[in-house]
Structure formats: structure tokens, C-alpha cells
């Protein structure tokens, strides 16, 4: 185990020992190889640099109560990377290769998996990029797939507390028939102006609406959105949001808790009717939302008691984290134990 102040680590890059790589060339994938190099070299005409042929994933490995290392829903990340690769005409990574690479990256960096009880975890970042050179607009014929890891501290350093976010209409993250359902860097580039501005204006994050009608909630920058009221868990149905694996898991947990799970369009004005709101994704699991400020209309929607996370959100959070940490029975078979 490394001597690191785990609980104080930010959500950021921290150099571990190894990354794992595979290359697609001449129509086939290479074997996995481990590298200690933090850099990659590539052709100056690589399609990832010019035409945005790039997709990534994000998942975590946790050291459990029993000392074992668990990865959460690894095969779902593998499937989603295939979906993203197909969506922007990249060579998909075979799902077994993806999973093997993630497991290898965790094993080779085992000393960077934070101890149980610190709230920290090991974040994995799988990345697929077009590395073959093209000048005309077309897909590359060579790809690099790599997985690097970084230990990250607990997301909520001062406790599980609600944040304020900002709803915007003057920027869109993704078009209805565009790339919103793919985990590609281009969607993030498109969200940066709005997200940096929201932070400068004092908000934790930005909330985007559907780009076509500007009526319905889409998602919060890098996280999905949900609301809760009267035994109902409601999350947007949209063709332009990323299918969050955390949200998928929360829906199953909510149903298991006896809530009615609904995927439908959520109009902005409806926000006034809900008791709890949250953003969800791998980094934080759930970020409870205390207030949504509509930037253009200058209206605030508030949820629950100020400074206190809602009851249902807290229960969902504890259940999901409990499974990830091996504290609660994994009756859904969501975790992979790394041995």
C-alpha cells in the first residue's frame, strides 16, 4: 500500500505505476501490454486529433469491508464503449478485451486501490482513440485502446449535502439525433462554456434542456438527472442523454425499495412538484440537488429542507455504495471481484 493521504485526494489525475494498452492495426487487435509511460505518440494526422474520433469510459474499483477489490458493473461499461465506438465509426474494442484490460490495470496498480473506510477509490479511465492518419474526413484504420487508473478521494469531503445547479437555455450539450448517447469528448467540449460559466456564477453544475424544444430536462453536464415524489423515481427519457450506469442501477434499487420507476420527459415547470432531485454518475454516485436556478427566467426550484439531502436519495446512495463496498449483499450480481 502506498503512503498516501487518501481521504484528501481530489478527483483528479494521480500517477499510478502502469497503464494498459492494445492496438488495432492491419485489421486486428494486439495483445494487451502494460506501460509505465504516461505519454503516447501518434501520427500528426490521427483522426482523434482532427475529427474527434475519441470515446472514453469511467468506472471505479473499491476495496471492500472484507479487503477484496470490487469493480462495479464492468460489463456495462464494456457494452457502452462498443455503443460509443459504433456511434462515431471507430473500431469497437472486443468486450472481453475491455474487461481484461480493466482487471489487469487494477491488479498491476493494486497498491493504489485505497483502503476501506477512507471513502477513496480507484478510478479507471478506459480510452479509445483513432490513431491512424487521415486528411480526408473518414474513420481511421488504426486505433489505440488504453486504460489508466488514478486513486481519487471521497467526492463529498464535507458530507452528503445538496448543491445548487443552474439550468440554461443558451447552450445545448447535444442535438436530438447527434452524439449525446455516446460517451465522446466532443459532447464535453460542447458543454464547457456553459459549465465553466455556471461555476463562475457560483453553481456546482449546469443542467441542460432538450435542444429541440427547450422544454424538457436532459441531463446535468457529466451526470444524469432524477427527481423523486410520492414513491416515484422519475428520470428523463431522451434521445440525447448518455445512458448512465449509475442511473440504471438506481432505477433497479428504487424498484427494489418499492418505488415506482418512471422514464419520461420532465418539463421544466414540473420541477416545482418534486420533493427531491439529484444528479447521478460514477464520480459521486448521487449528488443531491437542493436548488435549481433557471438562469434566463430567474426562477428557483427548491427541494426539501435546506442543507439536508432527501430521505429517498440518501437511502439510494447508501444502498448503492453499500454494494460497491461489499457491505451489503450484491443480489443483482453487479460487482466483479478482482483476484
Ligand X SMILES: *Cc1c(COP(=O)(O)O)cnc(C)c1O
Q: Which of 135, 140, 108, 142 is nearest to 124 (CA)?
A: 108
Measure the CA–CA gap between 94 and 96, rounded to whole angstroms. Answer: 6
Select 134 or 195, whichever has its Cβ closest to ligand X: 195
Closer residue to ligand X in complex, CB, 222/310: 222
Tell me if 278 contacts ligand X by CB under 6 A: no
For residues 117 and 320, give the distance between their C-alpha atoms in angstroms, rounded to a whole number. Answer: 16
Residue 18 or 217 with smaller CB distance to ligand X: 217
Tally Cβ neighbours within 10 Å of residue 164. 17
Cβ closest to ligand X, residue 131 vs residue 191? 191
**Which helix (H) or strand (E) covers residue 220, if one does?**
strand 217-220
Q: Which is nearer to ligand X, 18 or 280 (CB)?
A: 280
Distance CA 61, CA 121 (A): 6
Q: What is the smallest separation between the CB atom of 55 and ligand X, expressed in angstroms?
A: 10
Strands (E), 17-57: 19-25, 28-29, 33-35, 54-56
282 forms part of the interface with ligand X (CB under 6 A) = yes
Residue 250 in contact with ligand X, rule: CB under 6 A? no
* Min dist. Cβ of residue 224 to ligand X (A): 5
Among 85, 113, 190, 245, binds ligand X (CB under 6 A): 245
- State in angstroms the smallest separation of the CB of 58 from ligand X: 5
CA-based torsion, 295, 296, 298, 300: positive or negative: negative
246 is an interface residue for ligand X by CB under 6 A: yes
Q: What is d(CA 332, CA 121) in angstroms, rounded to the nearest whole number?
A: 21
Residue choice 153, 281, 288, 290 for contact with ligand X (CB under 6 A)? 281
Q: Is 244 in the site for ligand X (CB under 6 A)?
A: yes
Size of the site for ligand X (CB under 6 A): 13
- 316 contacts ligand X (rule: CB under 6 A): no
Interacting residue with ligand X among 227, 242, 254, 320 (CB under 6 A): 242
User: In the complex with ligand X, which residue's Cβ is closer, 109 or 224?
Assistant: 224
Binding mask 42-71 for ligand X (x = CB under 6 A): ----------------x-------------
Taking residues 217 to 236 in sequence order and writing x for each that binds ligand X by CB under 6 A, - otherwise, the string is --x--xxx------------
**Which residues are known catalytic residues?**
183
The verdict on 319 binding ligand X (CB under 6 A) reads no
Residue 24 grid cell? 488495432
Minimum gap (Å) between residue 98 Cβ and ligand X: 14
Among 104, 183, 251, 319, binds ligand X (CB under 6 A): 183
CB of 76 or CB of 270, closer to ligand X:
76
Phi, psi of 100 (to 5 degrees): -60, -40
Alpha helices in the chain (DSSP H): 47-50, 74-87, 95-108, 185-200, 245-256, 311-324
Report how far residue 153's alpha carbon sits from residue 150's, in angstroms, rounded to the nearest whole number: 10
SS (H, E, C) 159-179: CCCCEEEEEECCCCCCCCCCC
- Estimate the crossing angle of helix 245-256 against helix 311-324, to 10 degrees: 110
- Shortest distance in whole angstroms from residue 218 CB to ligand X: 9
Residue ranges in contact with ligand X by CB under 6 A:
58, 183, 219, 222-224, 242, 244-247, 281-282
Amino acid at each position: 500500500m502506498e503512503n498516501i493521504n487518501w481521504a484528501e485526494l481530489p478527483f483528479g489525475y494521480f500517477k499510478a505505476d502502469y497503464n494498459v494498452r492494445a492496438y488495432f492495426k492491419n485489421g486486428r487487435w494486439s495483445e494487451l501490454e502494460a506501460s509505465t509511460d504516461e505519454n503516447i505518440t501518434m501520427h500528426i494526422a490521427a483522426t482523434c486529433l482532427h475529427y474527434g474520433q475519441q470515446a472514453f469510459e469511467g468506472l471505479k474499483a473499491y476495496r471492500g469491508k472484507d479487503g477484496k477489490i470490487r469493480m462495479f458493473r464492468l460489463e456495462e461499461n464494456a457494452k457502452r464503449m462498443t455503443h460509443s465506438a459504433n456511434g462515431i465509426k471507430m473500431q469497437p474494442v472486443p468486450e472481453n478485451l475491455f474487461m481484461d484490460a480493466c482487471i489487469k490495470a487494477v491488479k498491476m496498480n493494486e497498491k493504489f486501490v485505497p483502503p476501506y473506510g477512507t471513502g477513496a477509490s480507484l478510478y479507471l479511465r478506459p480510452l479509445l482513440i483513432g490513431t491512424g492518419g487521415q486528411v480526408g474526413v473518414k474513420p481511421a484504420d488504426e486505433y489505440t485502446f488504453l486504460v489508466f487508473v488514478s486513486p481519487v478521494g471521497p467526492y463529498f469531503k464535507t458530507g452528503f449535502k445538496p448543491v445548487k445547479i443552474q439550468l440554461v437555455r443558451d447552450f445545448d450539450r447535444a442535438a436530438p439525433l447527434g452524439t449525446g448517447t455516446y460517451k465522446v469528448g466532443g459532447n464535453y467540449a460542447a458543454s464547457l462554456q456553459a459549465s465553466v460559466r455556471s461555476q463562475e456564477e457560483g453553481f456546482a453544475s449546469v443542467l441542460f434542456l432538450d435542444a429541440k424544444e427547450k422544454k424538457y430536462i436532459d441531463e446535468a453536464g457529466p451526470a444524469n438527472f432524477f427527481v423523486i415524489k410520492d414513491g416515484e423515481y422519475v428520470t428523463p427519457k431522451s434521445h440525447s442523454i448518455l445512458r448512465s450506469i449509475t442511473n440504471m442501477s438506481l432505477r433497479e434499487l428504487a424498484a427494489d425499495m418499492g418505488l415506482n420507476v418512471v422514464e419520461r420527459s420532465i418539463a421544466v415547470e414540473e420541477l416545482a412538484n418534486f420533493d427531491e432531485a439529484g444528479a447521478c454518475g460514477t464520480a459521486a454516485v448521487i449528488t443531491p440537488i437542493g436548488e435549481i436556478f433557471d438562469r434566463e427566467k430567474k426562477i428557483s426550484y427548491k427541494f426539501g429542507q435546506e442543507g439536508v439531502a432527501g430521505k429517498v436519495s440518501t437511502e439510494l446512495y447508501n444502498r448503492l455504495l453499500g454494494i460497491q463496498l461489499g457491505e451489503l449483499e450484491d443480489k443483482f450480481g453487479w460487482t466483479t471481484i478482482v483476484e
